[in-house]
Amino acid sequence: MNSVTLTVVSLLYLMALFGVAYWAEKQSEKGKSLVTNPYIYALSLAVYCTAWTFYGSVGRAVTKGIEFVAVFIGPTIMMPLWWIVVRKIIRICKVQRITSIADFISSRYGKNATLGVLATFICLLGVLPYIAIQLKAISSSFLIVAHSSGDQDADDLFWGDLAFYIAIVLSVFTIIFGTRKIDSTERHEGMVTAIAAESIVKLVAFMATGFFVTYLIFDGFGDIFQKASVVPSLSKIFVFNETGDFSEWFWHIFLSMAAIMFLPRQFQVAVVENVNEKHLEKAIWLFPLYMLLINIFVIPTALGGELLFANNTVNPDNYVLAIPLKFNQKILTLLTYIGGFSAATSMIIVETIALSVMISNNIVMPIVLKSKMMQERFKGNLSNVVNNIRRTSIVLIILLSYLYYKTIAEHYSLVSIGMVSFTAVAQFTPAIIGGIFWKTGNQKGALIGLTVGAILWFYTLVLPSLVGAGAFPQSIMDNGLFGMDVLKPFSLFGLKGMDNISHGLFWSLLANTICYVYFSVNTQQNSIEHNQAVIFVDIFKYSEQMETSAIWRGTAYLSDIQMLLNNFFGERRTEKVLKLFAQKHQINLNSEKTDSRLVAYAEKLLVGMVGTASARIMISSVSKEEKISTEEVISILKSSQELLSANKTLKRKSVELEKATSELKDANEILKRTDKLKDDFLSTVAHEIRTPLTSIRALSEIVYDNPDMEIDERSHFLGTVVKESDRLSRLINQVLDLEKYESGKQKLDKEEIDIQDIVKDSIEALYQQTKEKGIKIVFIPDRFAPRFEADRDKLVQVVVNLLSNAIKYCESNKGQIIVATHYVEGCIYTSVQDNGAGIDKKFQRLIFDKFYQAEDQTIKKPKGSGLGLAISKKIIELHNGQIWVESEVGHGSKFTFMISVV
Amino acid sequence: MKELIKVLIVDDEPSILMSLEFLMKKEGYQVFIARDGSEAMDIIEKEVPSIILLDIMMPNVDGYEVCYHVKNSLRFEHIKVIFLSAKNKEMDMEKGYSVGADLYVTKPFSTRTLVAKVNALAVNVVSGSAS
């Protein structure tokens, strides 16, 4: 395969990758976002596996044995902890609109610009070599494949500097992937999908080679191990080094645990690009599974390579390619080449984008924004400035990596440079882990810890490589700096017996952590630091409310804020965004000065664009801020916390209140009705009393004034006076009676009674009336009705009332009344049925109300107090029974009461 | 003269009817009796009484209606209407006068006063019809 074919294939692959990204973005625009798929998220995490994994794992397995798995064990151990650590970081970043690890640290420690710069430099220094080795991997794999086809001119291709052109091409692609959109919180959906696709490509490619070695060249795992076990020098590959230092394992595992979270590219895909915290659930098992799969064939391939290239003619880092080449497997060779290519490119793309965001947001923008001249110059066009800074950064990063590759990287294997990078980002561990779990951790601690850690890292791990490249004298390595033995980079303070990486990690992280803790404990936080500390540590408590409760107090002109946002979002979008926010929080946009919530919101929007520190600078430039003391911050946060819970309580209370109000309304309605009823009752009573009183007075006066009246007439008049007096006293008694029932003062005098006796007694009592009117009463008793507890006199009163009503409404001499008792299922029913006038349906329920006639004057008024049925009803209710009427006009009425006797 | 004056008594209480009938007859009026509003209307149509003693709370057609009907008809508007009612609230009396009553007497009443009042109205009726 000559170099032209390889170049074309590489470019085609990149185009395909871009196609995937483009397609993903189009899908997203159509609302069918692919990154909502948790598998895409999990696969994108596999950007962890770079060319180092692809080529270097086999190389490291050959030189160091099984130890290479340490960097995969670390993440595997770490993954379950992600639910605690990374989920929290994701939430913080979402709420605070943080888009890079440098921004995260800067934001946590009081939005400090210096920390952002420092973190960016650590990332840059740490990661540039890492990018460099990816370039190295691409160019060397290219040359191996090209050479094998006899294309010896490949070295001179592109004027002998293949890696440079690779760097250029990758810069272009990274720019296309990474800076198409302006707002970096808007995530790179296309890029993530492409990275996920690359993860599949490299996995398939590596497994294909591994399968080829294990099953086609050899006869399975057993065969390889058996053949290798015969060669003594190879046994070290697949057994633990018994003389080995287990501390080395420990440190390497620890290192990779930090790396899986804090490498800029891992932070980018795991945190910044995360769209749903729930995706972590899948990633927790899927990502370790991915790592297991990609490592299954590492040892067989290493052993196979050692067996096939016995006399060390081939660099073990290249076995993955060399084996298919040796067997002239063109397709497999190409697939493997593409696999390695994809592992390298995915790393370069994501890492560079992440770094470019850091450079623009934490280094360049603060400078641009601090300069009045620059601001004037780029006024209204800042988003383009940001984009251009990022593009320039991308080119610079890749070119710097190329430079590093040219000068230093060629002397080192893939893995060792990777580990140095890991150690660099591991310096973030105290500041970040402390930052999200320990409120006391402060700016000074982070600043000093990181600086000391970075210096020690540089001294113990980078300096030696620079010495190796000839930049510093070898004497530093041999005799220590300034000839001091304790300052030997590989055995600082005389610490020996550790490998370089463990040694460097140990000292740098130890010093870093001690400084961080010491200065955090012994120095004070300022208010903004404290504010951020509380928000970060208690993010799950505050994340619901952060949008509204910002700890900011001061004044700014709305027009200034608007102009600031216009620079990035354009006038139309700014207006829309502000309007929405104002609507949501009921802020008046017409006032000259702004609401502090709106200022805080604007700052947050800007953070997404230019990072925490830059946003801070911009907001400060247009607002007059009032200092808030730490105590105030705490009290504001506390009160907003209380407000939140108070709000919840209030909501609950308000619902309760609403219920109570409606109940009260109902009660009031009933009360009003009752009140009106009482009024009506009183005036009816008065009326009912006045009527007989009128007759009595008139008739008495007549008798008194007319002594010469006829004797018959006179006695008739006096008889009527007596009758009316009776009526009056009966009425008064009944009114008092009813009052007793209604106020609940009436008690029952219960004894065991027989319903038949009650009915018989009642009929007896009315014997005279019945006889006078010529009415027939028939009694049909139910002899199965049991005796039960009741108030005899009261029940008699009820039956008498029903009977006298019946008599009243029956026509003389034609009337017939049937009284019956029935015992059914524990209830005694007593009914009084007449063949009188009957009652209209619409009045059947009303007649049990007192003086119901009073409410409707059009009803034929029955003679009587109008209280009889009302009292009867009360009596039956006191016996826990019911009373009702069935009737039809012209067909008589049937009154029934039911009393439960069980 | 008084025999020429027709008095209609409307009430649903037999004992009150009884006493009023006695009183009016004794004064020499020609007395008619109705037990409810509609019965009263019939008698008014037929007899055109000069004076009506009218109860208010009665089944079917109440006293207000009867009075309103009388006072809004050219034929009957000259008839003197005396309300006799147990309703003694200011509001009830106002309503009584508003439908055109000439007098509102609350129950229970003094028979002597009532007779005097009826007689006073009857003088007007007589002089009215004389002129």
Name which of B19, B26, B60 is nearest A695 (Cβ-Cβ). B19
Could you tell me the two tokens for A795? 């029940």
Question: Concatenated DSSP letters for A511-571?
Answer: HHHHHHHHHHHHS---HHHHHHHHHHHTHHHHTTTTTT-----EEEBHHHHHHHHHHHHHH
Give the pLDDT score at A290.
93
| A789 phi/psi in degrees, rounded to 5 | -80, 125
Question: Concatenated DSSP letters for A226-264?
Answer: HHHHHSGGGHHHHS--TTS-HHHHHHHHHHHHHHHHHSH
| A328 pLDDT tier (thresholds 50, 70, 90) | confident
| pLDDT at A551 exceeding the cut of 60 | no
Is the separation of the CB atoms in A523 and A445 below 8 Å? yes
Name which of A693, A699, A860 is nearest B19 (Cβ-Cβ). A699
A393 lies in some domain: no
| A110 pLDDT tier (thresholds 50, 70, 90) | confident
Residue of B nearest to A686 (CA): B86
Give the pLDDT score at A694.
93
Give the pLDDT score at A854.
43
A382 lies in some domain: no
| A234 phi/psi in degrees, rounded to 5 | -90, -15
Could you tell me which residue, A636 or A778, shows the higher pLDDT? A778
Q: A27 at the B interface (CB within 8 A)?
A: no
CATH number at residue A764: 3.30.565.10
Give the pLDDT score at A547.
47
Q: Which of A689, A717, A834, A707 lies closest to A766, judged by CA?
A: A834
Could you tell me the two tokens for A547? 């949008």
User: Residues A620, A581: one domain?
Assistant: yes
Residue of B nearest to A683 (CA): B87
End-to-end CA distance of chain A: 103
A269 lies in some domain: yes
Interchain pair A691, B112: CB under 8 A: no
Cross-strand pairs, A790:
A751
Q: In what order do the strands lie in the sheet with B51-54?
A: B30-34, B6-10, B51-54, B80-85, B103-106
The CATH fold assigned to B2-124 is: Rossmann fold (3.40.50)
Q: Are strands B51-54 and B80-85 parallel, antiparallel or unpaired?
A: parallel
Give the pLDDT score at A151.
59
User: Residues A731, A787: one domain?
Assistant: no
A383 lies in some domain: no
A389 lies in some domain: no
Note whether ipTM > 0.90 here: yes
Choice among A75-79, A591-595, A812-816 with the minimum mean pLDDT: A591-595
Could you tell me which residue, A322 or A409, shows the higher pLDDT? A322
According to DSSP, residue A157 is labeled G
Q: Which residues of B touch A851 (CB under 8 A)?
A: none
Listed residues A708, A743, A778: the one ending a domain: A743
Name which of A699, A701, A861 is nearest B12 (Cβ-Cβ). A861
Q: Per-residue pLDDT averaged across A261-276, rounded?
A: 89
Distance in angstroms (rounded) separating the CA atoms of residues B35 and B18: 11
Q: A466 at the B interface (CB within 8 A)?
A: no
End-to-end CA distance of chain B: 15
User: Residues A98, A185: one domain?
Assistant: yes
Q: Which of B35, B77, B86 lies closest to A860, judged by CA?
A: B35
Q: Which residues of B touch A697 (CB under 8 A)?
A: 108-111
Interchain pair B107, A705: CB under 8 A: no
As for how many domains chain A has, the answer is 5
Listed residues A743, A776, A811: the one ending a domain: A743
User: Residues A316, A332: one domain?
Assistant: yes
Q: Which of A626, A24, A553, A623 lies closest to A273, judged by CA?
A: A24
Residue A616 CB partners (closer than 8 Å, separation 6+) = A111, A113, A603
Interchain pair B112, A705: CB under 8 A: yes
Distance in angstroms (rounded) separating the CA atoms of residues A359 and A112: 15
User: Residues A666, A763: one domain?
Assistant: no
A375 lies in some domain: no
Residue B28 CB partners (closer than 8 Å, separation 6+) = B2, B3
- The amino acid sitting at A423 is T
| B32 phi/psi in degrees, rounded to 5 | -120, 155
Q: Per-residue pLDDT averaged across A683-694, rounded?
A: 85
Q: What is the dihedral of CA A498, A516, A360, A191, to 10 degrees?
A: 60
What count of residues does chain A have?
Answer: 902
User: Residues A468, A553: one domain?
Assistant: no
User: Residues A622, A642: one domain?
Assistant: no
A380 lies in some domain: no
User: Residues A493, A538: one domain?
Assistant: yes
Tracing tokens 């501390």 back to the chain, one arrives at A247
Distance in angstroms (rounded) separating the CA atoms of residues B65 and B68: 5
User: Residues A558, A640: one domain?
Assistant: no
Q: Which residues of B touch A692 (CB under 8 A)?
A: 15
A384 lies in some domain: no
User: Residues A246, A280: one domain?
Assistant: yes
Q: Which residues of A touch B13 (CB under 8 A)?
A: 691, 694-695
Give the pLDDT score at A762.
93
CATH number at residue A723: 1.10.287.130
User: Residues A706, A818: one domain?
Assistant: no
User: Residues A159, A244: one domain?
Assistant: yes
Distance in angstroms (rounded) separating the CA atoms of residues B13 and A213: 123
Interchain pair A687, B87: CB under 8 A: yes
Q: Which domain holds residue A133?
A: 3-360+405-414
Instruction: For residue A685, give how far its alpha carbon lies from the nearest alpha carbon of chain B (Å).
Output: 11
Listed residues A545, A578, A606: the one ending a domain: A545
Could you tell me the two tokens for A533? 């500390």
Tracing tokens 């590492």 back to the chain, one arrives at A298
| pLDDT at B118 exceeding the cut of 90 | yes
Could you tell me the two tokens for A191? 């890029």
A718-721: list long-range contacts, CB under 8 Å, 24+ apart.
A720/A695, A720/B15, A720/B18, A721/A695, A721/A696
Give the pLDDT score at A568.
74
Q: Which of A213, A139, A194 lies closest to A15, judged by CA?
A: A194
Q: Which residues of A touch B23 (CB under 8 A)?
A: 698, 702
Interchain pair B108, A697: CB under 8 A: yes
Asked if omega into A232 is within 30° of 0 (cis), the reply is no
Give the pLDDT score at B2.
64
The per-residue pLDDT of chain A, averaged, comes to: 82
